[in-house]
Structure 1
Amino acid sequence: MRQNIIQLALCGLAALSTAAPANRRSTNNNVSDEFQSIDGFPAPNPQQLLETERRAHGTLSNSTPPDSVDPDTIISLQVIAAEEQFEAAFFQQLLANVTNNEAGYEIVGGNARTMGIDALTAIVAQEELHALNAINALRHFNQTPVAPCLYNFPVSTLDEAIALAQTFTSVVLGTLQNVVLNMGSHGDAGLTQGVASVIGQEGEQQGFFRLLRHNIPSELPFLTNSVRDFAFNALNQNFIVPGSCPNINQIAALKKLHVMQPLTVTQSFDPKKSVNETVQLSFSLPNGANPQDYEVAYINQQNIPFVLPYTVLHQDGQTLSVTAPFPFGEHLLNGLTILAIVPTSAVGGFKSNQDVADATLAGPGLVVVN
């Protein structure tokens, strides 16, 4: 019965093993190992591509890109290629852990387990096709695509993996909005249809992840906007093993993105657990800078960013631990909120999220509520 299937999806698939979590299984895995069961990715032959399309339940577009695009669009395509190759690796490893019944990744119930494996199998292939779509476009425009790196996935249970997927998918959904805007404003509106279709697909995945974590499937009326700089810095800071990318330093388009220092959310906010509307953050100041030289910028939904001061908890050399307001009730900060440390001197001049990214010292800090 369909009702039973839905119940299994909500309850059985989200039911995790009570066994103690294994050591974090994903640390420093070689990307070629992650992709060993994905036919020829990221350069499949025609037969391998057909098999990937079968698992993805659909095909790459057979439309022909324009002869040329604006250089800004090349930045977007490189960011998409980098993000989607990361996602394909993440979900491939998650699929392997679930399929192999690794400790912490067991799914209770035969039907729920089958549904989970089927869903992850499709997600892996769909993410692979997203990456190939960007890679093929870059090659069409005589650009060398960014190659896969080695990744560190800091999860050791199915619940942790789904929570992490929910967070980075929120960033992807926000960043693709920015990609569509930039393509349109640089005369490449013809490419936005394909990107918009990916936004829909990623949104379907996100609803599935949210149900598994006992949240309503639709997060917000208007999803949080991000920009390419935040997405690429989050990928580079949190997941890419340093020095493991074969050609990332040769990709000129990626060098145009603003480089940020890490911003660690050491204590997040959950309205179900606390009425204290604050978060705790850690970051490093530049040499010679003072704590009062910076504040916290907040990006949530489709609203104009706002900035608030933080309070220093501890300073060790140039490393600060701070507490910052998280005005959940005042601003209804549901869904993804992107935090960034910005110069106090720039406060008042932020008209867009790109303005925030361009001025960011440390970021992004990612907080997901409800």
Structure 2
Amino acid sequence: MFATKSICLLGLLGLVTGAAVPNNDGFPMPNKDQQVTLAKQAGGKLPNVALPKKLGSGSTTAFQLIAFNELFETAYFDSLLQNITNGVQGYEADNKEELIKIFSTQEELHALAAQTALMAANASFVPSACKYMFPTTNLTQAVNIAETFTAVVLGALQGANVLFAKENVPVPIQLISSVIGQEGEQNGYYRTVLKEVPSESPFLTAVPAAFAFSALQMFIVPGSCPYPLSNIDLPIFPPMMVNGQAVAALEAKDQKLSFSADLGKSEQAKKYVGGNGKDLFLTYTTGQQKPISLEISNVKWESGMISFDADFPVSENVMNGFSHAALTTGNVFELADDVTNSTLAGPGIIQVRDGVTTSMDSRAVEASECI
């Protein structure tokens, strides 16, 4: 079954267009007094160690992606804080305002740190905020989505440290490692709220930078960024739905999953459009395992839209928590980053939940229109 509207909206529930960023505390350009206030609210100050005066191309892209993401996170938590503070229906919560405010301020400092690192190295491009749309209508959904995008970020920051190491810039490795720990603490809290084990698994899932950048597009109002997205040197892949959802919440059992993606505008996919899918594979990445590629079945095309099925081998591979999937032209990969070179669509976001199973259901937006 094809879901054209769900692809264009990525399964958004209760579309909310957020302000670019909060500005009542001086962010994104706080003065010295405002920086002191931010530090007190966040529980710590911005780093004052000497930053590299030069970054390689990979490190530059890594910091640009980090800044791009942190600006989104800042807007997300500010919007959530406003919903809670204003008593919006579905967001009723006792004693949560101060906690969310701390999270929001900590993300502001993350964004400022990434932007500062780029400016210290005289990078030609430093991301600023876009406008955002947030796919939630209640607090449980909001926490669920926060836990998911934080899992994506935790996977992408692993790769950032690899790039810093390759380009011999050690200071960012320590800086980003401290952020990984902080984001992990946050996610443990979200998982507790969702009645999940705070620590998802012993080794968190790696996420290629291109997959993180592609996944973030579901939250960006198209055309709202004050710069071309190509300023960040990463591809944006066509999104892929899992069981009709942008984020699929699944039971921990072996099962057949359905996938769909619009490949009509993909140059890389042209030779495969209309085919039987025999040269295509569904590739999962979970934990720190080698990517797992499987044959696809029940392939159907409607113009450039593809739908297909693939097994979800959760028992053999112990895929607890967050995993991601991609439609690929290859099936042998050593590392998660290798998958992007063969990707036609993705990432499909998968959460194996033992407790709450709130998901972003494409059917909830049938009456909505694309922006």
TM-score normalised by structure 2 residue count: 0.85
Ranges in structure 2 where 5+ consecutive residues have no aligned partner: 1-11, 264-268, 354-371
C-alpha separation between the residues in 2 aligned to 1:314 and 1:92?
Answer: 42
Provide the residue aligned with 1:110 in structure 2. none
Would you say the 8 A contact 2:254–2:314 is kept in 1?
no
Match of 1:351?
334
Shift of 1:188: 1.0
Correspondence 1:274-289 to 2 at 5 A: 275=253, 277-285=255-263, 286-289=269-272
Alignment pair present for 1:246 and 2:229: no
After superposition, where does 1:56-205 map in structure 2 within 5 Å?
56-107=42-93, 113-114=94-95, 116-143=96-123, 144-205=125-186
| Per-residue Cα deviation, 1:18-43 (whole angstroms, up to 9, x for no partner) | xxxxx956523331xx4143x22111
Q: CA deviation at 1:73?
A: 0.6
Q: In 1, are the aligned partners of 2:53 and 2:122 still within 8 Å (CA)?
A: no
Q: Which residue of 1 aligns with 2:241?
A: 264
| Correspondent of 1:35 among 22, 40, 43 | 22
Deviates more, 1:275-284 or 1:359-368: 275-284
Quick one: which amino acid aligns to residue 311 of structure 1?
Answer: S
Q: What is the distance in 2 between the residues matched to 1:218 and 1:169?
A: 13
Compare 180-189 and 260-269 and name the one that shifted more: 260-269
Aligned counterparts of 2:229 and 2:350: Cα–Cα separation in 1: 29
CA distance in structure 1 between the partners assigned to 2:340 and 2:118 by the alignment:
25
SS state at 2:26 partner:
coil
| 1:276 CA displacement | 5.3
Pick the aligned partner of 1:361 from 324, 333, 344: 344
**Percentage identity across paired residues of the two chains:** 35
Aligned to 1:214: 195
Comparing 238-247 with 289-298, which one deviates more in the overlay? 289-298
TM-score scaled by length of structure 1: 0.85
Question: How much does 1:313 deviate?
Answer: 5.8
Q: What is the root-mean-square deviation in Å for CA atoms of aligned residues?
A: 1.7
Greater fraction helix: 1
Kept in 2: contact 1:24–1:156 (CA 8 A): yes
Q: What residue in structure 2 maps to residue 4 of structure 1? A: none
Residue 297 (structure 1) aligned to one of 272, 276, 283: 283
DSSP 3-state at the match of 1:292: coil
Question: 1:154 and 1:183, CA in 2 relative to 1: closer, same or farther beyond 3 A?
Answer: same
- Please tell me whether the aligned partners of residues 91 and 138 of structure 2 are also in contact (alpha carbons under 8 angstroms): yes
Equivalent residues of 2:18, 2:75 under 8 A apart: no
CA-CA distance at 1:347 after TM superposition: 2.1
In structure 1, give the amino acid aligned to 2:163.
N
In the alignment, the residues of structure 2 paired with residue 324 and residue 157 of structure 1 have an alpha-carbon distance, to the nearest angstrom, of 32
From the superposition, tell whether residues 282 and 209 of structure 1 become closer, same or farther in structure 2 (CA, over 3 Å): same
Q: CA 1:25–1:316 in 2, change beyond 3 Å: closer, same or farther?
A: closer
Distance in 2, Cα, partners of 1:154 & 1:244: 17
Q: Is the 8 A contact 2:254 2:313 kept in 1?
A: no
Q: State the distance in 1 between where 2:298 and 2:205 align.
A: 28
C-alpha contact (below 8 Å) 2:19/2:75 kept by paired residues = no
Q: Secondary structure at the match of 2:35?
A: helix
User: Which stretch shifts more, 80-89 or 51-60?
Assistant: 51-60
Instruction: Tell me which moved more, 80-89 or 142-151.
Output: 142-151
Distance 1:26 1:58 in 2: 34
Is the contact made by 2:200 and 2:321 (CA closer than 8 Å) also made in structure 1?
Answer: yes
Greater CA deviation, 359-368 or 307-316? 307-316
Partner of 2:365: none
User: d(CA) in 2 for partners of 1:185 and 1:28?
Assistant: 39
Q: Per-residue deviation at 1:207?
A: 0.5
Query: 1:121-145: per-residue Cα shift (whole Å, max 9, x none)?
Result: 1000000000000001111111231
1:276-297 per-position Cα deviation (integer Å, ceiling 9, x unaligned): 5122211134334223331111
Unmatched 5+ residue regions in structure 1? Answer: 1-22, 108-112
